[in-house]
């Protein structure tokens, strides 16, 4: 992925646009509404896990803004292709309501609309990759525009980029453990979007069903479906060594519980010195694992045939 390079490109693009429009201070807005779907909303999911004190974010995946959206808010529209109908509709709604709007895209109709309307626009290099593989560019440009370039710069010295072989080996081990089973990913509530990362990569790269949930909610309902020696499912539990004691204890109990039922599960510790490093490590590991699994299953991780066929209906 040349992930470090993508972060640097996004950082520089954000800096260039910030010079034109001036610094954007998140505290000026009572809330930031992030609009997007699929891989293009992953930057907002990542930001929501960083716990930046001046960013009060709301993730919107619909073709319309919440009824409460107003000029007190900032709207950030992300669409890698620039042709996502839901994001375009949200953008138009923001313009109609005269809400300050940022657009992050590689082109398409969204870029043309932003240019016409004079909206703040970061035009990303149009590369032949799927949106889920463009997180580095989009995340770095958004955080830089929102006056958090230091958050991105701090990741460049992370060991995460020098551990590619370790990630590859671990990803291979996890993909072999999944095999032909259906993965279910669990985490604590603060890390719930990491489960979305894994689910999205497994769905789109490996072409399989996958599900994600979080604790403590899951242990109050869905584990009722756990069965003795059930070989249909594979459980992946994401555990942060620095979790709050209550969350960490609950995740470890879940792992032990699943083992008693003789189901296959892995308790995977999140690695990284900062929350951003942990997010990016899991992002890269999910990508590697799902790509390895795609090879095992004999499918093309880059194919979008089924998704595109639905869009034509």
What is the pTM (predicted TM-score) of this model? Answer: 0.93
CATH value at residue 13: 3.40.50.10490
Q: Give a yes or no: residue 11 inside a domain.
A: yes
Q: Give a yes or no: residue 136 inside a domain.
A: yes
The pLDDT value recorded for residue 19 is 92
Q: Give a yes or no: residue 305 inside a domain.
A: no
| Cα of 186 vs its chain's centroid, Å | 15
Where would I find the H helices in the chain? 3-21, 42-48, 85-96, 108-117, 135-145, 149-153, 164-178, 192-206, 245-260, 275-297, 305-311
- Residue 310: is its pLDDT beyond 70? yes
Dist. CA 140–CA 288, nearest whole Å: 21
Indicate the pLDDT class of residue 267, thresholds 50, 70 and 90: very high
The total number of structural domains in the chain stands at: 2
Longest CA span, the chain: 61
Q: Give a yes or no: residue 256 inside a domain.
A: yes
149 and 169 in a single domain? The answer is no
164 and 288 in a single domain? The answer is yes
105 and 164 in a single domain? The answer is no
Domain that holds residue 125: 3-153
Q: Give a yes or no: residue 262 inside a domain.
A: yes
Q: Give a yes or no: residue 184 inside a domain.
A: yes
pLDDT in tens, 164-207: 556 778 888 999 999 999 999 999 999 999 999 999 999 999 99
149 and 163 in a single domain? The answer is no
The pLDDT value recorded for residue 313 is 87
Q: Give a yes or no: residue 223 inside a domain.
A: yes
Q: Give a yes or no: residue 302 inside a domain.
A: no
Inter-CA distances, 286 with 65, 113, 253, 272, 313, Å: 30, 34, 24, 15, 30
């Amino acid at each position: 992925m040349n992930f470090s390079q993508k972060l640097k490109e996004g950082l520089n693009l954000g800096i260039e646009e910030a010079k034109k429009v001036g610094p954007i201070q998140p505290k000026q807005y009572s809330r930031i509404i992030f609009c997007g779907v699929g891989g293009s909303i992953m930057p907002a999911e990542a930001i929501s896990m960083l716990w930046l004190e001046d960013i009060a974010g709301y993730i919107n995946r619909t073709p319309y803004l919440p009824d409460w959206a107003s000029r007190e808010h900032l709207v950030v529209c992300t669409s890698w292709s620039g042709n996502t109908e839901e994001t375009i509709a949200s953008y138009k709604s923001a313009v109609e309501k005269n809400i300050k709007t940022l657009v992050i895209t590689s082109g398409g109709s969204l870029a043309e609309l932003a240019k016409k309307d004079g909206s703040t626009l970061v035009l990303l290099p149009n590369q032949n990759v799927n949106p889920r593989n463009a997180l580095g560019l989009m995340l770095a440009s958004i955080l830089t525009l929102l006056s958090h370039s230091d958050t991105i710069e701090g990741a460049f010295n992370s060991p995460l980029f020098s551990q590619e072989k370790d990630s590859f080996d671990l990803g291979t081990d996890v993909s072999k453990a999944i095999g032909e089973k259906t993965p279910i990913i669990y985490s604590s509530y603060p890390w719930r979007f990491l489960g979305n990362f894994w689910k999205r990569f497994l769905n789109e790269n490996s072409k399989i069903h996958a599900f994600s949930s979080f604790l403590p909610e899951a242990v109050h309902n869905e584990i009722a479906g756990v069965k003795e020696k059930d070989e249909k499912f594979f459980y992946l539990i994401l555990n942060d060594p620095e979790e709050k004691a209550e969350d960490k204890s609950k995740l470890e109990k879940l792992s032990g519980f699943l083992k008693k039922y003789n189901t296959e599960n892995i308790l995977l510790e999140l690695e990284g010195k900062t929350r951003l490093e942990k997010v990016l490590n899991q992002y890269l590991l999910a990508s590697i694992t799902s790509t390895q699994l795609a090879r095992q299953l004999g499918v093309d991780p880059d194919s979008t045939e089924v998704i595109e066929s639905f869009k034509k209906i």
